[in-house]
Amino acid sequence: MTKQDQSPTSSTLPNDVVGVRREDFLLAMKQAASLVSVITTTVTDRRMALTVGSFLSVSADPPLMSVCVNKKSRMCKAMKSSGKFGVHVLADNQSEVADVFAGRPQTGDAYDFSCVEWLDQGAGRESLMDGASISAECETESIIDAGSHCIFIGAVTNIKTEEKRPLLYWNRLYGFPSSDL
């Protein structure tokens, strides 16, 4: 399934260290702008997708990407089972796609794959999203247990890019980088 499953060395703080309150942490994290991405996976011919704000480029040598997924979600279980996933960094005109795969569509049905065009890569492969800034197919390299989430690190096996501004999320609002210098 994965090349390596890892657990954290310690999930609690030493007795003499006081951590921040959860509410203070969440308030602070609202101020961190993040790329809006949709992750996808397929298990026994069932496609699944979820909007996340936790995509990172990990390495160029070899090409690796990571995403964080809540352990309690069906997506986490599916990604562990599948051993592969897609990462689709949304373009600035795809906020409706983000809402669909976040389960809160403005119109239509939640998690409806027909809300965007998909480029079929063949049997056993993850489709790439047409119109996304970046769309990549990954094989799960490792899974790291981290608090309430799992960090999935994937080896990039296919990638497609378009010269489009990425969609950002900040303080519960969508936005995009300005091209004014």
Q: Which domains does the chain have, with CATH numbers?
A: 34-175 (2.30.110.10)
| Whole-angstrom distance, CA of residue 58 vs CA of residue 123 | 27
Q: Which two structure tokens, joined as six digits, stand for 16?
A: 């003499």
Of the candidates 27, 2, 6, 33, the one whose C-alpha atom is nearest the C-alpha of residue 150 is 6
- Indicate whether 5 pLDDT > 70: no
pTM of the model: 0.85
Phi, psi of 117 (to 5 degrees): -80, 140
Phi, psi of 159 (to 5 degrees): -150, 145
- Give per-residue pLDDT as tens, 133-171: 999 999 999 999 999 999 999 999 999 999 999 999 988
Q: What is the pLDDT of residue 42?
A: 94
Q: How many helices (H) and strands (E) does the chain have?
A: 3, 13
Centre a 10 Å sphere on the Cβ of residue 165 and count the other Cβ atoms it contains. 14
